[in-house]
Chains A and B, each alone.
Chain A
Amino acid sequence: MSDDGAARLPRSERPPPIELRSMCKAFGPVVALRDVSLVGQAGSVHAITGENGAGKSTLMKLLAGVHAPDAGELRIDGRVVHLHSPAAARRAGISTVFQELTVLPNLTVAENLLLGREPTHLGWLGRGAMQAEARAVLARIGIELDPQRACGALSIGEQQMVEIAKGVSTDASVFIFDEPTAPLNRAEVDKLEALIGALKAQGKLIFYISHRLDEIFRLCDTVTVLKDGEWVATEPVSALSADTLITLMVGRPLQALFPPRAATPPGEAALDVRRLTPVAGDASASLLLRRGEIVGLGGLEGQGQREIMRALAGVLKAADCDIVRSARDARSAPFDPREGAVRVVQQGIGLIPEDRKLEGLYMDLSIADNIGLGVLRGLGLMRRARRDRALLERIAAQLQLRARDLSQDAGELSGGNQQKVMVGRWLAAGVDTLLIEQPTRGVDVGAKAEIYGLLREFVAQGGAVLVLSSDLLELIGLCDRILMVRGGRIVGDVPAASASEEALLALALADEPVAAKAAAI
């Protein structure tokens, strides 16, 4: 589908292959993208970068046809286009390598490469043609894989290479790579980079989403920085340095959201994690969580922080652990979260998961029911369940809950109030340790401050809180100590009072030179 008039114009006067104007996208009350515009030029590698939650993946998913924008215009070769599905995006000449693998484990390499556009011969599947084309694609990219092998038998890195090969083998003019090198080894990364170089030489436009500064500086011509769903800057890479790039990614005005830290030093250990190996064969972590303190877990997405949290909560069965716990009114004793979440909760540790709708709240039950379930902790099944109205109202007041009344369905509340209800459930349960994932995801500013206040109050009364957050400013403002996680290991234990966003981000990023440089900041 080409516009012949445009193709006849000299290169410089042709409309850009991709132009995004004022793209907006919200998921419910959460705004993922606000008024983002950018232009991608043919024959260039265009990086899209930013912190977690900046909106990079959402922007690319709009291009890939997975979501439809709420507002804004997508122009392909100068013409306004609406993409209704991934198949439509493919037809429009956009090929995407998603961050999550979409190769199917029970199909062979050849079948995966050609899924959705299989060659047919008189209506029958052309297996011979499939083999030939698969071999050609693999050879072109320089991957040595047997097209007949099932993808389930390949390593993650090899599956990613198949994913990349799939994306590259279509006759597209725009290619999107979303964090492609995460599972790859050195040799595979080299192949990918050669591939991208070849595509660029053919005049294609490549969008490259990544955190890895070394890759951005090595591969890309232009970089667009997003922050909190908004466009910050689009600059040629040659005009930037690592420092200036990091500065563009971070650094927003610090709002007066955070309650003052505790004046008194923390008490004894609530959880002494001497060794925790969430996944067999992977790295182990060790950390110390003391009474009266809020400790943060930070890092780029997928570095193992979530596994650590969930292993401690007994939700993910850890491969190996050596943990000592002392509950509020008990002596210290060995603690094995592998016994399951029921035991962990009985011992006074509560998890507030990241996805409220799927894993946290009972959307169809009332606020009273949601909070009231906490009171039942440790009771036998046939015991009478007290409906302690006074307790519920006291907790609701403490939470500063904004709702019509306690019989309202939890699903009708705003994000901030929903989060408060989850905290309220554990307050009612009387636990002394809280594990919270992304405490203020999808929460408005006012409620954020209130939630921070709740957590501070909780530890002031002898509790301990472990917070997992991808928002560095939140960690700096809220926590007493911040542990940065990389590759499943704790790579930094920084007192929050003296931490800076740049230093933390540097600890979290991949490359040593940048980290060393930033640590000196």
Chain B
Amino acid sequence: MTTNPPPAAAPAPSAARRALRWLFALPPAYLGTAVLLLLAAMLRPQLLSMFLLPLIARQAAPLGLAVIGQSLVMRARSIDLSSGGVIVAVSYILTSGYFPVSDAVAMAMCVGLGLCVGVLNGVLIVKARASSMIVTLAVAMILLGIVIALSQFRAPGDAPEFLRAFARQRWWGVPLPVLLWLAVLVPVALLLRSTVFGRYLDAVGANPQAAALSGIPYLRVIFVGHVASALVSVICGFILVGFVGKGSITLGQDLALNSLAAAILGGVNFGNGKGGMAGPAVAAFMLTFLFNFLTSLGLGEPGRLMLQGAIIAAAALAWSLNRGRTS
């Protein structure tokens, strides 16, 4: 087989064109946030006040954390929808007094639970090759069912004081949950950039077959991603329990789908390693701000759900079209 000589290079596009192309190549979250803030400034400027903005950021912290976990698995072409189940289980362990132990031990038990869930997900997905969406949804169902059943005997009670205080406090004006979010985000971002795991994750996402053929332990990468995601869900549970002040069986039920939407909006698509961790973080803030904004405009639960569904579909469509164009 012979080849043609390579075609002459196209003339370099103008600076304005390049800037525009760069803008549209950015994850939708950045543009979206800018547009959103603009609209808010026009219609509901009080949302941008120094009073409400930190509160919205604090509210976004659990989603921001969940998105970190979700990004780790999505980059490896998997997904984790079990966070709802883990959070409810965490809330029950901490608040029901079912286990007569100190708060610290209860929290340690929650971490243990997260580890077990992560390992279970990982093993089923990697060894049995079951579909990750079905596995994680089923695990969430199991956890939710057990917690609800137990709640009939022993209702959830008050959250540990430590967590309630944690949710309330601020250091240097920044709410502690936000600091915790950053405290997880920054090391994870650094880890992804500088460790072998991070590079392997890029490779597995870019081309899982090539990764397998070139001796990269891609199954281990996916497994670790799921364990990490489950542990992150535990942390989300801690924060949410602190917010609400007591246990609840409806806690964090929409976190899984929201983290999926935020990840896609933040530029992390299945197998796409290009988006850093900043995009999803911005997207988490954007979604939280969006829901607050729409609520202030009168949007109720129905509208929120419809919007969620539309966002996921639109983002998936955009990614699909984009991929079709470049392949």
Contact = CB atoms under 8 A, between A and B. Distances in A.
A425 interface: yes
A30 B213 contact: no
B267 interface: no
Contact of B215 (A377, A384, A415, A441): A377
A363 B4 contact: no
Contacts of B272: 364
Given A381-B221, A385-B199, A29 B6 contact: yes
Interface in B202-229: 202-203, 206-207, 209-210, 212-217, 220-221, 224
B199 to A, nearest CB: 5
30 contacts: A29-B6, A53-B1, A315-B212, A341-B213, A341-B215, A342-B217, A344-B215, A353-B210, A358-B209, A358-B210, A359-B210, A360-B213, A360-B214, A362-B206, A364-B273, A365-B202, A369-B203, A372-B199, A373-B199, A381-B220, A381-B224, A382-B197, A384-B196, A385-B194, A415-B3, A425-B214, A442-B1, A444-B3, A444-B5, A445-B2
Interface of B: 1-6, 194-200, 202-203, 206-207, 209-210, 212-217, 220-221, 224, 272-274
Given A362-B203, A364-B206, A382-B196, A342 B216 contact: yes
A29 B210 contact: no
Contacts of A369: 199, 202-203
B253 to A, nearest CB: 33
Interface string A479-509: 0000000000000000000000000000000
A380 interface: yes
Interface in A429-461: 441-445
B210 A361 contact: yes
B1 A345 contact: no
A9 interface: no
A395 B21 CA distance: 33
A382 B195 contact: yes
Given A29-B4, A229-B1, A364-B206, A350 B214 contact: yes
Nearest to A341: B215
Contact of B214 (A351, A383, A444): A351
B1 A32 contact: yes
Contacts of B203: 362, 365, 369, 373
A250 to B, nearest CB: 15
A55 B224 CA distance: 46
Contact of A362 (B4, B202, B220): B202
Nearest to B212: A341
Contacts of A351: 213-214
Nearest to A443: B3
Contacts of A359: 207, 209-210, 213
A384 B191 CA distance: 9
Size range of the interface on A?
Answer: 35 or more
A442 B198 CA distance: 32
A31 interface: yes
A449 B220 CA distance: 39
Which residue among B199, B213, B214, B274 has the maximum number of chain A CB atoms within 10 Å of its CB?
A: B214
Contacts of A22: none
Contacts of A380: 196
A346 interface: yes
Interface string A18-44: 000000001001111010000000000
A414 B7 CA distance: 11
Contacts of B5: 444
B3 A29 contact: yes
A313 interface: yes
A228 interface: yes
Nearest to B198: A385
B207 A362 contact: yes
A26 B4 CA distance: 9
A365 B212 CA distance: 16
Contacts of B202: 362, 365, 369
B192 to A, nearest CB: 10
B271 to A, nearest CB: 9
A444 B212 CA distance: 28
